[in-house]
Structure 1
Amino acid sequence: MPASSQLRRIAALALVACFLACGHPTPEPRRADQPPLALWSYRDLAGSEAAQRAFFAFAARRGVRELYLGGADLLPGRAEALGRLLDAAQDRGLRVSLVLGRAAWTRPGQRAALLEALRAVRDFDQARARAGRARLAALQLDVEPHALPDWEREAPKLSGQYLDCLEAARSELTGSLPLQVAIPVWWQDRPIRRGGRTRPLSEWAILLADQTVLMDYRNQVEGILRGAAEPMASAQALGRPVVVGLALHCERDAENAHTSFCRLGEGALQKALRQVEARLSRERAFAGFALFTYEDWESLKP
């Protein structure tokens, strides 16, 4: 082999070795004075210490301050495991909110199932409080009535039933856990009349929640800001905080090119976070960002 070819081959192998050893470049962690960053995860972090360690290391590198943990199967059966996760997260300065949600909970016939799930979370958290142990930051309801098969025919009725569901949840949790509600950005275009007053469905949800997580799934800065404008104004008027959620997940559909940072990558995400933060930081209702999801961020291209 000629010397020049051999040198090129060695250089190429060195580059590959460096890539494998170093991985993708990591963005700088967020500063303490920046708006909080939350991260959804549906991985079984309560059931694996190795998975916990990996998440905590990832969160520390990215400046994540809160975990939105999918918890459909955790309570009451896996309370001890969840408790250990809360203790470990608290030791690292991380808050944990538990995410529950089934579209069927919208229906009046499912109200008992909803309340049973909420009581399990409330009782768990109150037991932690009595024991002086780390507690949940909030319970997040991600109930999406538009996923029901009759939404197109019955949207006004289902919207009203959804708001009844939130009222029941708020009543059940009063004096214990804060209630977070995750809502899609397009609910601002759905006017609902209730109690003699008409408001956008998003505004009704903001009114009933202690904090709202707006699923503002757009990947262009102006689109994100347009989506946040009306909910942020409603929240400001009502004295409620709003977290702006952005999507990283990859789905094989045409809309994904406009709703997620999956194809755009880490650099585009970080640039958008900086630019949106610069515009929203002046809003009193703005309470930071949430990214969907940890599992997708792990594999996001540079």
Structure 2
Amino acid sequence: MNRVKNKAILLLLAICLILACGVTSPAQAKEPQTKAIWAWDFYEAASNSNKITAILKFLKEQDINLLFIGTSKTLPDQPATYEELILRAHEEGIRVFALVGRAEWALEGRHREALAELQQVLSFNGSHPASVFDGIQYDIEPHTLAEYKTKRGSVNYQYIQVLKKIAGEIKASGDSLEFNAAIPCWYASGENPVMVDTGGQRKPLSYFVLDIVDTASLMAYRDTAERQIRASLVEANYAAKLGKKVYIGAETSAPNGSTIPNEITYYNKGSVYLDKQIKAINAYYAQHEGFGGVAIHQYSAYKKMMQGR
């Protein structure tokens, strides 16, 4: 009896010591921060075993644990290759999201196409229970449409509706697929925020998006951590209020003077500089409830940048 009593006392003392030292229990341990990467071109990135080996090696070397992989026209043709990619990625602790997107899907007449992409992924998950996609990212950018110049309000409304339809179908399917949307940072914090009036509410378009999706990938493409933080803070704060998270995107594609001006990409500054900026972003947002991690755009460009260091 005394021996049992002594053990109980020792256990209590041990617990007190752990608490006094501030040691985090397993239940309280913080999950590793997400570091994601886009790979739009499935054929280039992962269309055979050798390419899968190469991309997974690269992701591990760069501490990347979330892969957005293009599926739009390739998933129905190569299910076995996607199965191999997902199985091997999961073994390495890397989540895999299907990646799809066209600006035209914002328009009501093209909603069916957007939903067909989702059904492909849901069908794949249903028939490959050991190698399911963890999520799906939709990159629908209505602001790039010609109609946006004259019918902004209508196009924004149609865009919100397609996101609601996607969310509804995911929920109805019972699949645990994470619904992620890529959105530009200036919807809420640009010089002219994109304000939307619908359902008796008036707020930035990105807020409506965050109301619907599980997470968002914020295209906060700038060439310093400070500028990326400023470009992402409004959405991160709103996401936190909803109990959701944003992934903050960093561009690594070569500048071309028009669609990719020098000031939005890290390409010419090199990977060492980029790593420092990512660390600064992670440090700033370390305790922020709306921050999910960073996302690098994109695989082929990042590899080239890494080669030049």
Encode CA deviations 1:219-258: one digit per residue, 9 max, x unaligned. Answer: 1222111111100111011111111111101131155211
Residue 107 of structure 2 is aligned to residue 103 of structure 1: no
Which of 147, 152, 156 aligns to 1:155? It is 152
How high is the TM-score relative to the length of structure 1?
0.85
Give the fraction of aligned pairs with identical amino acids, expressed as a percent. 24
Aligned residue number for residue 165 of structure 2: 168
More deviation, 35-44/210-219: 35-44
Aligned residue in 1 for 2:116: 116
Query: Would you say the 8 A contact 2:69–2:98 is kept in 1?
Result: yes
Instruction: Name the amino acid aligned to 2:294.
Output: F
How far is 1:46 from its partner? 3.9
- In the superposition, the TM-score normalised over structure 2's length comes to 0.83
Report whether the alignment pairs 1:136 with 2:141. Answer: no
Check conservation: 2:39, 2:70, Cα contact below 8 A: yes
Q: CA deviation at 1:173?
A: 0.9
Residues 150-193 of structure 1, C-alpha deviation per residue, up to 9 Å, x if partnerless? 21222221111100010010011112122111101011111101
Cα deviation digits, residues 19-41 of structure 1 (max 9, x gap)? xxxxxxxxxxxxx9752211111
> What is the aligned partner in structure 2 of residue 240 from structure 1?
244
1:210-289 maps to which residues of 2 (within 5 A)? 210-253=214-257, 256-289=261-294
The answer to whether the Cα contact below 8 Å between 1:207 and 1:240 also exists between their aligned partners in 2 is no
Classify 1:33/1:112 alpha carbon distance in 2 versus 1 (closer, same or farther; 3 Å): closer
Select which of 184, 202, 207 maps to 2:206.
202
Unpaired runs of at least 5, structure 2: 1-29
Q: Distance in 2 between matches of 1:35 and 1:117?
A: 28
Corresponding residue for 2:179?
179
| Unpaired runs of at least 5, structure 1 | 1-31
CA RMSD of aligned residues (A): 1.5
The ranges of structure 1 where at least 4 consecutive aligned residues each deviate by more than 4 angstroms after the TM superposition are: none
Count of residue pairs the alignment pairs up = 268
Aligned to 1:4: none
1:81-126 CA distance string (max 9 Å, x none) = 2112111211222111011111111111112222222111111112
Aligned match of 1:90: 90
